[in-house]
Structures are given as structure tokens and as C-alpha cells.
Amino acid sequence: MGKVQLLSDDLINKIAAGEVVERPASVVKELAENAIDAGATRIDVDIERGGKRMIRIADDGCGMTQEDAMMALKRHATSKIRSEDDLFRIMTMGFRGEAVPSIASVSRFILETRSEESEGGVRLVVEGGGDPKISGSGRAKGTTIEVRDLFFNLPARCKFLKADGTEFSHIAEAITRLSMAHPDVRFRLTHNGRVQLQAHPTHELRERVASLLGKQVGKAMYPMEFSTSWLELKGVFSRPDVTTQGTKGIYLFVNGRFIRHRGFSHACQEAYRGTIEKGRYPYIVMFLTIDPAEIDVNVHPQKIEVRFQRESEIYGRILSTLRHALSRTPWVESTRSLVSTTPSTASSSTETTSSVATTQTSASTSHTPSTNTQSTASISTPTSSVPSLAEEDTPTSSPASVPAEPKAAPRNFEEFQRRFLQAAQAQKLALGEDAQPEQKLAPLPSAQDNLPFLPGWDPNPKGEQATRASAPSQATVQTQTASNEVITTDGEEAYEEKVRRPVSTFFSSLKYIGQFAQMYLIFENGDTLIYLDQHAAHERIAYQRLLESFDQERIPQQRFLIPPRIELSIVEAQRAEQHSDDLERLGIEIEPFGGQSFALKSVPDILKKGDPRALVSDLLEELSSGKKTASLDQRRDEVLMRMACHGSVRGPHKLTPDEVRALMQQLDCIDFKANCPHGRPIYFEMPRKELEKRFHRT
């Protein structure tokens, strides 16, 4: 007899079971997927001892006749494909016909089923892959499969099973994934007689997410959507402040099937770069619907790995869709009205200004951004008063006592102020009080002068290009720094930079209490204390400004009238020549000055107060790290993060109340205000109840 022998069917099934049936969760996954393919709208999963003793799955699907049930116990028998072409057009969960016979070969297996056209049901009992025992069943339409004593005939496999709780956690995860993919199906999961999971049918994905991952996660999820002729992307994603450890919160589905894909998971993490802390990961439930001809699902025994023809394109679509969706999310809990940061038409901008003006009190108009880039206006609060960002409410007048406002929205902030004072005068006359001469609103000290680390910021709510009425007409303006170094600024680029309008007024409305250790700011917001890291806030603002300017390929520069000379090391000098074009795109112009000396002709406007030598050195290090083939656009985030760090105040730095107010206004004008570019939190809240607990008052 030859050495090469044909294996028995029993041994073949046990070998196949080693690939398909890794642990009890694998059994649950395969049988539940069959129930979904059968059109079930209700699936009940009962588990005992983590699935080692018993697994029972009952559904209300189409069921099977006795002939089909007998055929299902044979290897590679399936109703889901007929030809080779079907293998590349698969839309069902299963297709190989391996799961049922493999499971039956390593357990005490019971199958009860009945089709709609059958007069009665059928019951098949198989022990360890033997011949089935057939009997009748009074079951209603659908299928019930019971798997007892898994791996009873493979003691070596039993040794590798974990504790009951561990095995059940894998089962719960498998059901969670299937429930995510099929929110229209009711799932119920029990363990040792106790209901552990119950997901009712819903057409709202967020409701299904809340029932599976918790209400707090469900409330923090926001929708995203993208489609092309060959790809549809839908799903929900979490705010950056709602995260988890590891990538377990990222659920990726392709044509309804859960998959693992390191590249696509990386795209999800990359979209959140700079918004969450390192070591934390977002919650994302993403569905990709794609032509089956574009993918190959027949590459993994458990079908959790898929190959894609256009993998790089899908990666880019996931990244861009998530980034776009993230930029439109209201991160601050108390803010639900979101305004795009991209300046639009003047009409839409004035509508925004008008709505803000009508919802805020008269004293809070001091938080409304001014069109004057050099100051922020205050209505009647002296600059020496108590440092508060939210003043007392001013009584509002009835419509009868105040003349109607013109229908046209104010063209600028000065006009808004004038109208406000006119309305106040009219109110006094209506109440019989003496009218006072028209007042002029006293401006606060210049926020730009007080915040040297964030120059040139203009919180004009109008969606127009900023201009200064007092600016000279020539293209170049000369200013003088604190070190008496004359700098020339490109007037057109500096003054025509797109201005920002507030995304919200949350930070501007906070009541400022004080500063601790010259590093942390403390605010009051109703019954909550808010602690804010001023360096992290500065860094996020600087990063958002640089990112916006870089994407527009127009980073505002400050040019030196007398370029300072900087000395670089030999390696840095070589890198400077190699990356001179990249530095110029970043707003830094340097020229060789002989040897290792370079003349610094310009720096980004936002970084003009920093150390130019350290800035250039750090940027050269960043540009030279990583892959040599990576372009500046590919490493944009890391480079701009490094620049933002140089553009932010470091260490203890005392801020005046006016500087704090300006900082809060700047935070209101950007997205992603919960974290610094490196992911560290900018602020956290302490509710009054938490404080009372510390003093044992509750």
C-alpha cells in the first residue's frame, strides 16, 4: 500500500473544524450568520458555561425541508452559490458549506427545522460527526440548532479554551458585531439563563449602537455619509472626547460583513490625529457597500479578512469623509448650533451675526467679535472691572417701547453698536428717563498687543476679507518689534487674510474666576467649574490657523527688513538646502550666508515672536524624519503641530483678563477645541456635585 492515503470524511471534518471552529464564539458566529441568510427577523442565542456546555440558536427564518436539512450536514453543500462566477458576486454571510458539518463533527449536535411549505418539522441528532438520527418535530417555521459539549471528542482542543467568562465575552462581541450590521433584526443573548443583551429592531443606527455600547456612547455618535458610482460609505462616529482603549470600538463592515483591516482602521485613527490623546481610540461604526466584483472574501477561513482592488482609494475616501464629518461636529456639549468656519457670503454671515446678537444679552455683546483687528469692544464695562467673561443680564424692552430695528442686518460691528445704543436711548425715553448723549463704546486694550504668541487674529463675524480702515495703501507696512528690530509685513497678504467667525459662544460666555500657577485658567459655568490649560488652548488655535492657511497654500508671513543670521550644524545646513522649498511653503524663507550661516528672510506671522533658530532646527528635524519619499503634504500634520508648539506660550505666563477674553473668543472661532494637536485635553469640567462629594456634603 502506498504512503499517500485519502483521509476519512470524519477526519476531514475535524481538520476543517480546526479552521472554522476556533472557540464557542466561532460556532455562534457561523450559525447566527446562517440565520441572517435565511431571512430571520428574530434570533435568540442561549449560552451555558461560556458555550462549552451548550449553545442554542433559534430563528424565525425560512427553515428547511428534511431533504435540505440532511444535505446541510454534508461538506461543501450550500444554497448560496451555484457556479464559479457566484464566488465573486457573494452578498450572503456564508457560502462555503463547511460550518454546519464541521460543528456537528466536534459536538453533540441537534438540528430542528421547518419550512413554510412543510406539514411538519424535522429533528436531526448527530454525535461527533456520526450518522444523523431523524425524527419529527413540532417546531414552527424557522430553525433551532443546539450544540452541546463542544470538542468533547477532541480533548486537546478543550485544553486551550479559556474561562467561561472569557469565552462568553467573545460570544457577546460576535453578537454585537452582527447586531450592528443588522439593526432590523431582533437579537437576544442569554448566559446561564440570564439575559445579557437584548437589541430591539430599529431603523436608526444610533439607537442600535446605544443598546450595544451604552447610552453615553450612543448620544456621542454623529452620522457620516459618502458615495460614488462604485462605493457607498455610511456610518456613525464619536466625538473626540468619547474614546476607548484599543481599536475595539472601530467596527468596519463590507457588504454587511464584519472585517478586520489594518489599513482602514489606520485611516480612522489618522482622521482623529490631533484630537484625541495617544493610546485612546474613537468609536466608529462604518459600512462600506461595494461591488462584490471589486473584492475577494474567500481568503480567510472565518471570512474576516477581505482583499480590495482599490484599497488605496478606499483608504483615502475613509480618511477624507471622516475628517470632513469631524470638522462639522459640535464638540462643546452646551453648543448645538454649529456655524461653518469657512467664510461664506456676506448675507449668510450677517444673518449669523444678527442671530447671535438677539440671543445674547446686552452685556454679552462684549463677547461679539469686532471688525477692528486691533481691539475688542466692550459696551459699558470698564477695563478695570471684575474680570468676568459673562456679565449680568440687561433687562430687555417690550416691542412697544423700542422702535423697530431696520430689516437689513448691520453691515459691521460698529453699526450694530450704534443700533444698540439707539435702542437703549429709545427705551429710556419710553420709561420717562432723561436721555443721555450718544455714547461711544470704549474699546478694550488691544488683544493682539497683549497676546504676542497669537498675532494677527481677527474675529470678524463677517464672511468677507479683513481690511483695516487705517491701513496705509502701500503694499508693505513696517512695524517695530520689542527688540527694535524692524519687520516688514506683506500688507495685502496680512490684511486680506480670510477672517473667522465664531463657531459657538460657549467659551466667551464663561465667567472668568482667575489663573492658577500662571498656566491654568479657572471659569464658572452655572453649577460647573471649568479648568483650562492655556498652553494647550494656544497650541490648538495656532495649529488650526496654520492648517487652514496651509490648505489654502497661503501662510501669512512676516518679512524681516534686516534678516537675522542663524547658525546651523553641518547636518542641519544640508537639510536646509534639501528642504528649502518645503520651508518656503511653510512661510519660512532662508538663504545661505556662507558656511553654516543662513539669513532668515521671513517667518510665519503667527510665529514671529518665537526663537527662529529653534524653529528652523525643529522643522528640519521633522521634515527629515520618517520616510524619505513622504511629501510635505503627507507629513503635514506632524510639521504643523511642531510649528504650533513654537507659536504657543510655554511655561508660566501671566494673562490679563482682557487677554483671557481674547483667548476665549479665539477658541470659539475654531473646531476641535476639546484637545490640543497632540491629543491632550484643553479643559475639563468639575460639576458642583463632584465638589460637594469631596467635602462630604452629599
pLDDT digits (tens, 9 = 90+) for 521-556: 999 999 999 999 999 998 899 888 888 888 888 888
DSSP 8-class letter at 632:
T
- Confidence band of 688 (pLDDT split at 50, 70, 90): very high
Lowest-pLDDT range of 17-21, 196-200, 210-214: 17-21
User: Residue 263 pLDDT more than 70?
Assistant: yes
Question: What pLDDT shows up at residue 405?
Answer: 42
Specify if 165 maps to a domain: yes
Cα dihedral sign, 553-462-346-336: positive
Q: Does 129 reside within a domain? A: yes
Place 80 in a pLDDT band, splitting at 50, 70 and 90.
low
- For residue 71, how many other CB atoms are within 10 A of its CB? 15
- Residue 342 has a pLDDT of 33
Pick the closest to residue 198 from 179, 182, 225 (CA basis): 179
Average pLDDT for residues 311-319, to the nearest whole number? 93
Number of folded domains in the chain? 2
CA distance 507 to 446: 19
Both 312 and 263 in one domain: the answer is yes
pLDDT mean over 453-476: 37
89 and 39 part of one domain: yes
Distance, C-alpha 430 to centroid of its chain? 52
Count of CB atoms situated within 10 Å of the CB of 565: 13
Residue type present at position 440: K
Sequence-distant (≥ 6) Cβ neighbours of residue 437 within 8 angstroms:
none
pLDDT at residue 182 is higher than 50: yes
What is the rounded distance in angstroms from the CA atom of residue 12 to the CA atom of residue 26?
18
pLDDT for the residue 418: 55
Of 145, 180, 199, the last residue of a domain is 199
For the segment 494-519, the average pLDDT, to the nearest whole number, is: 74
State pLDDT tens for residues 215-255.
888 988 999 999 999 999 999 999 887 888 888 899 999 99
pLDDT of 94? 63
Q: 335 Cβ partners below 8 Å, 6+ apart?
A: 503, 504, 505, 506
- Name the one residue in this structure whose C-alpha cell is 457561523: 30
Report if residue 152 sits inside a domain.
yes
DSSP secondary structure, 371-399, as one string:
S-TT--B-SS--TTS---SS-PPPPPPPT
172 and 93 belong to one structural domain? yes
* Judgement on whether residues 96 and 184 belong to the same structural domain of the protein: yes
Take residue 361 and report the three cell numbers written for it. 444679552
pLDDT-based confidence at residue 416 (cuts at 50, 70, 90): very low
For residue 380, the Cα-to-chain-centroid distance in whole angstroms is 41
Of 172-176, 331-335, 350-354, give the range with the top mean pLDDT.
172-176
**Single pTM value for the model:** 0.59
Maximum CA extent, the chain: 121
- Tell the residue number behind the cell numbers 429709545, with chain if given: 426
Question: Looking at 304, 326, 348, which one is the last position of a domain?
Answer: 326
Q: Mean pLDDT, to the nearest integer, of 669-682?
A: 81
Query: Could you say which DSSP state residue 443 is in?
Result: B
Question: What distance in Å separates the CA atoms of residue 245 and residue 226, rounded to the nearest whole number?
Answer: 27
Q: Do 189 and 172 touch, CB atoms closer than 8 A?
A: yes
User: Would residue 577 count as lying in a domain?
Assistant: no
Listed range (410-414, 539-543, 628-632) with the worst mean pLDDT: 410-414
More confident residue, 265 or 467: 265
349-351-354-359 Cα dihedral, nearest 10 degrees:
-110
Cell numbers representing residue 569 in the block: 550644524
Q: What share of the chain is helix, strand, coil (3-state, %, to 5)?
A: 35, 20, 45
Identify the pLDDT of residue 502. Answer: 62
What is the per-residue pLDDT for 569?
79
Q: Which residues is 523 bridged to in the sheet?
A: 512, 530
Nearest to 663 by CA among 643, 683, 678: 683
Stretch among 296-300, 348-352, 403-407 having the lowest mean pLDDT: 348-352
Whether the per-residue pLDDT at 494 is higher than 70: the answer is no
In the three-class reduction of DSSP (H, G, I as helix; E, B as strand; rest coil), residue 530 is classed as strand
What residues contact 553, with CB distance under 8 A and at least 6 apart? 585
Say what the pLDDT of residue 171 is: 95
Residue type, 487: I
- Looking up residue 211, the CATH number of its domain turns out to be 3.30.230.10
Same domain? 182 vs 242: no
Q: What are 141's three cell numbers?
A: 417555521
Domain that holds residue 54: 9-199
pLDDT at 674: 78
Lowest mean pLDDT among 81-95, 97-111, 145-159: 81-95
Beta strand 42-48 pairing with 186-191: parallel
Residues 243 and 139 in one domain: no
The letter for the amino acid at 567 is E
| pLDDT given for residue 327 in this prediction | 78
189 burial class (0-12, 13-18, 19+ CB within 10 angstroms)? buried
87 and 143 co-located in one domain = yes
Would you state the pLDDT for residue 304?
A: 82
Do 192 and 267 fall within a single domain? Answer: no
Count CA atoms within 13 Å of residue 202 on its CB side.
16
Q: Is residue 604 part of a domain?
A: no
Phi, psi of 14 (to 5 degrees): -70, -35
Lowest mean pLDDT among 24-38, 200-214, 391-405, 679-693: 391-405
pLDDT at 362: 34
pLDDT at site 606: 77
Query: pLDDT confidence of 619, banded at 50, 70, 90?
Result: confident
Q: What is the pLDDT of residue 62?
A: 94
Residue 465's pLDDT band, with cuts at 50, 70 and 90, is very low
Q: Which residue has the higher pLDDT, 186 or 496?
A: 186
pLDDT at 637 over 90: no
Whether 509 and 364 have beta carbons less than 8 Å apart is answered as yes
Selected residue with higher pLDDT from 387 and 689: 689
Taking CA atoms, 402 is separated from 224, 361, 419, 421, 433, in Å, by 45, 16, 11, 11, 14
246 and 273 belong to one structural domain: yes
- First vs last Cα of the chain: how many Å apart? 85
Q: Is 182 helix (H, G, I), strand (E, B) or coil?
A: coil
The answer to whether residue 426 scores a pLDDT higher than 50 is: yes
Residue 420 predicted with pLDDT over 60? no
What is the pLDDT at residue 227? 92
- Which stretch of 310-324, 533-547, 600-614, 620-634 has the lowest confidence by average pLDDT? 620-634
Residue 493 has pLDDT above 50, yes or no: no
**Range from 77-86, 100-109, 297-306, 496-505 carrying the lowest mean pLDDT:** 496-505
The pLDDT confidence band at residue 491, using thresholds 50, 70 and 90, is very low
What local confidence, expressed as pLDDT, does residue 154 receive?
Answer: 86
Mean pLDDT of the chain: 75
Same domain, 249 and 110: no
The yes-or-no verdict on residue 468 having pLDDT over 60 is no
Highest-confidence segment of 139-143, 373-377, 410-414: 139-143
Are 95 and 232 in the same domain?
Answer: no
Q: Looking at the predicted structure, is the pLDDT value of residue 627 above 80?
A: no
| Alpha-carbon span 436 to 417, nearest angstrom | 16
Q: How far is CA 123 from the centre of its chain?
A: 50
* Percent of the chain residues topping a pLDDT of 70: 69
Q: Is the distance from CB of 317 to CB of 231 less than 8 angstroms?
A: yes
Q: Is 551 within a domain?
A: no
- Domain identity same for 157 and 191: yes
DSSP run (H or E) holding 531: strand 528-533
pLDDT digits (tens, 9 = 90+) for 338-396: 333 333 333 333 333 333 333 333 333 333 333 333 333 333 333 333 333 333 333 33
Residue range 314-333: average pLDDT? 81
**CATH code, domain carrying 107:** 3.30.565.10
245 domain residue, yes or no: yes
Kindly state whether residue 153 falls inside one of the protein's structural domains: yes
Q: Domain boundary residue among 297, 326, 355?
A: 326
